Structure 1
Amino acid sequence: MSDVPVVIVGGGSVGLSTAVFLGHHGVRSLVLERRAAPSNHPRALGVSSRTFEFFREAGLHDEVNAAVVTSTTQWKANARTVAEIDHSQAPAPSAAASVVSPESPRGHCPQDRLDAALLPAARERGAAVEFGAEVTAVGQDADGVTVTLADGRTISADYLVGADGVNTKVRGALGIGTTGPGELGGTAMNILFSADLVGHFGSMPVMVEIQHPDVSGMLLAVGEGRWVIHVPLTDGEEPTEERCLAWIRTAIGADVPVEILNAMPWRATMRMAAEFRRGRAFLVGDAARAITPLGALGLNTGVADAHNLAWKLAMVLAGTAGDGLLDTYHDERHAIAELVTEQAALRWENPPLHWDPAAAAGRAAVGMWNAPVVIMGYRYDSTAVVDPVTAVPSTEDIVACLNGDAGSRLPHRWIGPGKSTVDLIGPGFAVLTGPGGEAWCEAARENGLRATVLDADWTSSVALAEDGAMLVRPDGFIAWRTGSGADTALLGKILAMVTSR
């Protein structure tokens, strides 16, 4: 008998998210993190509306929202120094809600602040989280996995999730190879410091590209009075504390008290595992694929990995799905990783095309997709989707992409105060139908599914007959749609196909 259903190696944002999502689906997990405590370094910063949807589903809306940096304004400035920022270039504040998500775009959400919300949430949902627990070996057979720790313990589980980052040991222990160039370019210093820039300057953008001849880099708000500056190093340059302070003071361009909190060297990496599943073991996040940081695609893609995998593991562990459903984790997420890796590389090579909303023609010329389409507009093609429409209608218009096609994420529509169609989904499958689809509700109930009748405006928006129906997966993706009248036996057959029963 296993000690725990799922063991997760790695207790960063993606590992903790995996534990949260498994707990949301009723599955206990054990998270093993080699570090003695959570990292205080911000690392990735951008959390997309889609990622906020995942946490909304898991009941963490308020906790994650509280982690967002609110002391700065949402724009990117370019200036010689902070003191020379032209604030007249700041866009007018907008309170417009997102038309594609119940979660409007927010400010930066640094990983250390996100982790502080995820850690207690994982434990509250049944996960055990151990710090200072270094994994030295993993093994598996047909019946389960074993994990050996540096302290000599051996833990058994039904499944293993490797979430141990870009320098993963799990991937190597599983014998999974990688593709990609590996480390790119030179080393940069990532310097975390405290300074009251808002108090001194009155207003600060969330991001400043510093263009001083003595220091160039990106300055980012990572908390109330906390900042990170990324400074490229030249060959032979020694990043002493005195040097780091000089860079910061030069970048600020004014006499503001500064305290360095942490500093770490960093290099961009592009590498992808050949397989995301091997037997009873799975790779998520940077253990599965590491990409360049521009565009905030890495963290969001990693959390999406966890969200995709969690419900599938839960169903297989519960005996309501076959093992083939777990194969769709690799089929779906590896394809998305290839897309995201390509898009991240294009952003690394063409930064202005990423930042400029009006640069659609330039993006098209190099094959770059608009960021919202990369984050939310992609489609799945696997046995967990029946007759998927794999080609995106547009690489620029996210609204056009979220049109109700099989394989795409369910479109958001408000259906009541504070309630979205997105909220109708999870933790199980659901059937959505139009005003003429009451018989589909009965068919859903006979197959043990929840069902919701929506109005004619909704069916029209997704080009569905009023007596048609959609079968929506626990992760919000449309598994199947039909314009025909209700058929209980057909719905059961489709459900069995999608879940590999």
Structure 2
Amino acid sequence: MRSTEVLIVGGGTVGLAAAVFLAHHGVRAEVVERADGPQVHPRATGVGKRTVELLREVGLADVVDSVAIDLREGGLGMITVDTLAAADPSEPASWPSAAPSSSRPPSLAPSGHGRSPFPYTPAALRGTCPQNRLDVVLLAAARERGATVSYGTGLVSFEQDGEGVTAVLSTGERVRARYLVAADGARSEVRTALGIGLSGPGTLGEPIQNVLFRADLGGLIRGRRFAVCRITNPEAPGTLIMIDGEKEWVFHIGLDREPTPDLIRTALGVPDLQVEIVSTLVWRVRAQVADRFRDGRVFLAGDAAHTVPPLGAFGMNTGIADAHNLAWKLASVLRGEAGPALLETYGTERRPVAVLAMEQALLRLTDPALHWDRSPAQAEARARVGAVNAPIVDLGYRYASAAVIDPVPELPSAEDVALDLDGSPGSRVPHAWVADGVSTLDLIRCRFTVLTTPDGSPWLEEADRLGLNAHAVDLPAIPPGGAMLVRPDGFVGWRTAGASATAPDGGPEGLGRALDRLLCRRES
């Protein structure tokens, strides 16, 4: 029987991301995946800004940016056409979008150049990135960092006790792990074996065919690119997704249509176009969240924990953030730095985020303009139905758990995520450029970090005594002479205005006690 610290069941995007994040924290992980190799059929394409921040943290943002589809020039979100040929790319007005041009976000800049067009994040991709391309990057990174990834290997059974988990694999091998992470998808066998139920509406609508095809559409789009193209032609209705921006595309159609080259030619409006159908994947929209994300030494992540309708691109990104949240906590417990109760905060923090993502995606299914249209009129429409702007779902949420001292769960804004990232305990630390291409987020380096004001030398001295990473920065979210203690995942765990030992929270002398509480080393 071989041993590992963490066994990850499922080698999709979330499982591979978990391996990368764990390795980044120095944790040995093994990934087993039942499929014979990485998924080659494109699925999700939207990589959220929080995900790019996490990729930046582990040194992968530039690599992912290099394989992303360049939408910086002439890029659109969603367009609606009768056929693609009916839209003249030389006339922008003939490419109708759900969002008025004046309300579209600014053009994107490569993340690796240290400049983002968004005031609240250092990270931005130049466009969309198909999930299969992201997986190639994550797989290479996981192996380079020491993780073992085995394809053609499924989980047959597992048993857990007070010290770990013993798993039997389809190869006949037995693996002993301290913890198990189930990233084995919407039909998770691990979740089923644990008897963990699901809440939510479940499957929605009829099954859909995801048809991957190759065709040279350069003559149709002539430099203009889009994320989603809704085709309304009654003879071939469906949704066209750009994969490589040139010759690789996905067409989503119902099961009532046979996925033939002629159907695609009709949808595109080019009768003599050369079309090669590569593969077809049948899927259904699902909306469910597991009732709990942990059972003893087993944790659910990604689709095993939650399935989210696709509009908004919240599902995959929520799963990657699951893996990131869990990785530093497992690492802290495995190193003996944190109390075991820290692991309970994984579900306490991540399940509400998954519920938010599911509910927001469901609202967008009913009215896609809630997502695509960023005009003030849609802000009013979102407010009427309880929808929040997409960046808030992506990274504006807050945590309330034992790993946050005096959390402030209420969001100041449902529209402006910059207002929500105000340094309140439980929120992601505010972004500000502190040097050329260096963000406050870059200062964290996956460690507990003290951020204080330029006159906060008592905090720096106490942080040094405790062996903590610390920086003096000019950040409005930090009160004069105060400080914030940021967790390894970039979320504010504690904020204080007290620079004196007589302050209510003990000032700098209270820093050690705050760290103990965040790591669940003492009762709060």
| TM-score normalized by the length of structure 1 | 0.95
Q: Tell me the CA shift for residue 86 of structure 1.
A: 4.6
Q: Contact 1:50–1:375 (CA<8 Å) still a contact in 2?
A: yes
SS at match of 2:11: coil
SS at match of 2:427: coil
- The one-letter amino acid paired with 1:51 is T
Q: Which residue of 2 aligns with 1:169?
A: 189
| 1:373 matches 2:387 | no
Distance 1:200 1:84, change over 3 A: closer
Q: Contact 2:433–2:440 (CA<8 Å) still a contact in 1?
A: yes
Q: Which residue of 2 aligns with 1:127?
A: 147
| 1:481 matches 2:495 | yes
SS at match of 1:441: helix
C-alpha distance in structure 1 between counterparts of 2:402 and 2:496, whole Å: 17
Q: Which residue of 2 aligns with 1:195?
A: 215
User: 1:459-498 alignment to 2 at 5 Å?
Assistant: 461-462=476-477, 464-485=478-499, 487-498=507-518
Q: Which residue of 1 aligns with 2:331?
A: 314
| 1:94 matches 2:107 | yes
Q: Tell me the CA shift for residue 204 of structure 1.
A: 3.6
| 1:336 matches 2:356 | no
Deviations 1:79-116 (A, max 9, x none): 00111125413649735711111112531111100001
Q: Which residue of 2 aligns with 1:81?
A: 83
User: 1:135-154 alignment to 2 at 5 Å?
Assistant: 135-154=155-174
Q: Tell me the CA shift for residue 209 of structure 1.
A: 0.9
Distance 1:106 1:225, change over 3 A: same
Q: Which residue of 1 aligns with 2:240?
A: 219
Q: Tell me the CA shift for residue 257 of structure 1.
A: 1.4
SS at match of 2:337: coil
Q: Which residue of 1 aligns with 2:461?
A: 442
Q: Which residue of 1 aligns with 2:260?
A: 244
Aligned residues: 490
Q: Contact 2:499–2:508 (CA<8 Å) still a contact in 1?
A: no
C-alpha distance in structure 2 between counterparts of 1:139 and 1:350, whole Å: 45
C-alpha distance in structure 1 between counterparts of 2:126 and 2:408, whole Å: 31
1:267 corresponds to which of 270, 281, 284: 284
- The one-letter amino acid paired with 2:253 is V
SS at match of 2:467: coil
SS at match of 1:228: strand
2:423 corresponds to which of 404, 409, 413: 404
Q: Contact 1:331–1:382 (CA<8 Å) still a contact in 2?
A: yes
| 1:428 matches 2:447 | yes
C-alpha distance in structure 2 between counterparts of 1:404 and 1:328, whole Å: 20
| 1:109 matches 2:116 | no
SS at match of 1:70: coil
C-alpha distance in structure 2 between counterparts of 1:97 and 1:14, whole Å: 27
Q: Tell me the CA shift for residue 215 of structure 1.
A: 1.8
1:253 corresponds to which of 269, 278, 293: 269
Q: Which residue of 1 aligns with 2:198?
A: 178
Q: Contact 1:77–1:85 (CA<8 Å) still a contact in 2?
A: no
C-alpha distance in structure 1 between counterparts of 2:81 and 2:225, whole Å: 11
Q: Contact 2:196–2:292 (CA<8 Å) still a contact in 1?
A: yes
Deviations 1:127-162 (A, max 9, x none): 000000011112101010011112221111000000
Q: Tell me the CA shift for residue 312 of structure 1.
A: 0.4
C-alpha distance in structure 1 between counterparts of 2:74 and 2:39, whole Å: 26
Q: Tell me the CA shift for residue 488 of structure 1.
A: 4.4
Q: Contact 1:426–1:473 (CA<8 Å) still a contact in 2?
A: no
- The one-letter amino acid paired with 2:267 is A
Q: Which residue of 1 aligns with 2:180?
A: 160
Q: Tell me the CA shift for residue 201 of structure 1.
A: 3.7
SS at match of 2:44: coil
Q: Contact 2:68–2:125 (CA<8 Å) still a contact in 1?
A: no
Instruction: For structure 2, list consecutive stretches of 5 or more residues without a partner in the other structure.
Output: 96-100, 109-115, 501-506
Instruction: For structure 1, list consecutive stretches of 5 or more residues without a partner in the other structure.
Output: none
C-alpha distance in structure 1 between counterparts of 2:358 and 2:220, whole Å: 40
Q: Tell me the CA shift for residue 253 of structure 1.
A: 0.6
| TM-score normalized by the length of structure 2 | 0.91
Q: Contact 1:49–1:101 (CA<8 Å) still a contact in 2?
A: yes
C-alpha distance in structure 1 between counterparts of 2:388 and 2:238, whole Å: 25
Q: Tell me the CA shift for residue 200 of structure 1.
A: 4.6
- The one-letter amino acid paired with 1:421 is T
Distance 1:380 1:2, change over 3 A: farther
C-alpha distance in structure 1 between counterparts of 2:345 and 2:333, whole Å: 12
Q: Tell me the CA shift for residue 118 of structure 1.
A: 0.5
Q: Which residue of 1 aligns with 2:26?
A: 26
Deviations 1:330-388 (A, max 9, x none): 00001111111111111111112211101101111111111011111100000100001
Identity between Structure 1 and Structure 2 (%): 48
Q: Contact 1:309–1:329 (CA<8 Å) still a contact in 2?
A: yes
- The one-letter amino acid paired with 2:273 is V
1:297 corresponds to which of 314, 334, 353: 314
Q: Contact 1:446–1:488 (CA<8 Å) still a contact in 2?
A: no
SS at match of 1:62: helix
Q: Contact 2:215–2:247 (CA<8 Å) still a contact in 1?
A: yes
Distance 1:238 1:226, change over 3 A: closer
SS at match of 1:103: coil
Deviations 1:26-64 (A, max 9, x none): 111000000001111111110011100001001112211
Q: Tell me the CA shift for residue 199 of structure 1.
A: 4.4
Q: Contact 1:49–1:103 (CA<8 Å) still a contact in 2?
A: yes
SS at match of 2:237: strand
Q: Which residue of 2 aligns with 1:360?
A: 379
C-alpha distance in structure 2 between counterparts of 1:473 and 1:448, whole Å: 14
SS at match of 2:299: strand
2:470 corresponds to which of 451, 458, 471: 451
C-alpha distance in structure 2 between counterparts of 1:147 and 1:475, whole Å: 29
SS at match of 2:141: helix
- The one-letter amino acid paired with 2:488 is P
C-alpha distance in structure 1 between counterparts of 2:126 and 2:166, whole Å: 41
C-alpha distance in structure 2 between counterparts of 1:330 and 1:208, whole Å: 37
C-alpha distance in structure 1 between counterparts of 2:224 and 2:473, whole Å: 44
Q: Tell me the CA shift for residue 2 of structure 1.
A: 6.7
SS at match of 1:181: strand
